[in-house]
Amino acid sequence: SEWCSELYRLHNLTVDAIFVDGGGVGGGVVDYLRALGYKIFDVQFGSKPRDPLRYANKRAELWGNLKEWMETGALPNDRDLEAQLTSIEYGFNLKEQIQLERKEVMKSRGLASPDEAEAIALTLAQPVAPKNLLARHHKSKNNIRNWNPYAREGEAGYVKR
């Protein structure tokens, strides 16, 4: 958490959101960064997903979001990251929801925790409007409360970027 805070300060980073895995030791990271004044989104991997018909928990949903994003997104050419992204297995539970392999099971197969891959997946925990988009929208006569990050062009709440 100190490393994150120092990196943010040294490089004068401006971000639109910071998502942190708040489970386990991550709870302390969330508390520390909030105490320093950062706006943090505490993501609990075991919590209920936005799409409970498809995913068993938030962790499975994040990885599903990452899979969809990768169809158009780009990641660095990194062998370790590639191994993390491709080594995790999944299945379906009795409710036919996607359920990811537990980290303990990965460890028993001789694999490390996919920390970097999950950090990338965390960035997709919820839609984030860029601050400059919010400022432009707020300046217009439209009400920002009507903005819908999922709206398509022509639908209510759509904001052209």
Predicted pLDDT of residue 72: 94
Low-confidence ranges of the chain (pLDDT < 70): 1, 3-5, 8, 11-13, 133-147, 160-161
Q: CA 140, CA 41: separation in Å to the nearest integer?
A: 28
Cβ-in-10-Å burial (0-12, 13-18, 19+) of 44 comes to middle
Q: Tell whether pTM > 0.85.
A: no
Q: CA 33, CA 13: separation in Å to the nearest integer?
A: 15
Predicted pLDDT of residue 107: 95
Predicted pLDDT of residue 32: 87
Alpha-helical segments (H) within 70-147: 79-87, 103-108, 115-122, 131-139
Q: CA 91, CA 63: separation in Å to the nearest integer?
A: 13
